[in-house]
Amino acid sequence: MNRFFTCHPVQHSFQLFSIEHLVTLAIIVVIGTFSFLCRKQLRRKRFMFVLLSLVLIVSEVAYQAWEIGCHQWSAKTSLPLQLSDIVVLLAAVMLITKSRILFYFVYFAGISSSVQAMITPDLGGYAYDQFRYIQFYVSHGGVVLACCMLIAICRYQPTFRSLWMSVLFVNLYGAFIYVMNRLIGANYLYMMKKPEHASLLDVLGPHPWYLVCIEGIMILSFLVLYLPFWMHKKIKGSKSKVNFVEGE
């Protein structure tokens, strides 16, 4: 138990794209796929929305409690202000309220940031059999699964307009975080400097130019996330035209 809740991981205990890492990602993909394959059955089990919402909230509360218990809580690093953290709380509210506005934002900003976080996690070395690792993937994976549930069960779909509204809101949030960083001397969203560990930002140039690259990558990732729905609309529209012509 002490090892599970350890505050000081063994150095280099987490290995990027190790078997444990890949299995974790595979489990999230399988559960997401399950929500689509079993969507008819899940429509009769609406408590699943409340359950996943509680999991997300408990996950964030447990993390804050763990940080405090480890005597390493700091306003500079522990507040849920990273984009992939704030969407955890927004996803919990989204599941309860079924808000389409929140869905649009969480779908684009939440999935893109959570997927990136899960593929290249900032875990500080915590391994798969430790609390921080489990909490990290439960919260970020839960955001992706929350969107999958609303798409599969409630048939929500993002719109092209909501894509650009999400871009706007992310930039407004970034402006707010920049002010917060200056006020408390933090580095949320890595707006002030790159993270100390190796990351994707290392290949995007020096500060502040990598922020411009991040903006481009964000827009591109949003477009990729919208692509399946755009293709679905095109195919559906083509079928409707064919049926209309055949019916004449």
Output the pLDDT for position 182: 95
- Cβ proximity of 92 and 55 under 8 Å: no
CA 25 – CA 45 distance, rounded (Å): 25
CA 115 – CA 113 distance, rounded (Å): 6
Domain boundaries, given as residue ranges, for the chain:
19-236
Answer yes or no: pTM beyond 0.85: yes
Note the residue count of the chain. 248
pLDDT tens for 177-220 read: 999 999 999 999 999 988 776 566 777 888 888 899 999 999 99
More confident residue, 114 or 127: 114
pLDDT tens for 127-161 read: 888 999 999 999 999 999 999 999 999 999 999 99
Q: Indicate if the pLDDT at residue 103 is higher than 90.
A: yes
Q: Indicate if the pLDDT at residue 245 is higher than 50.
A: no
4 pLDDT tier (thresholds 50, 70, 90): confident
Tokens of 154: 């409630």
Q: Indicate if the pLDDT at residue 244 is higher than 50.
A: no
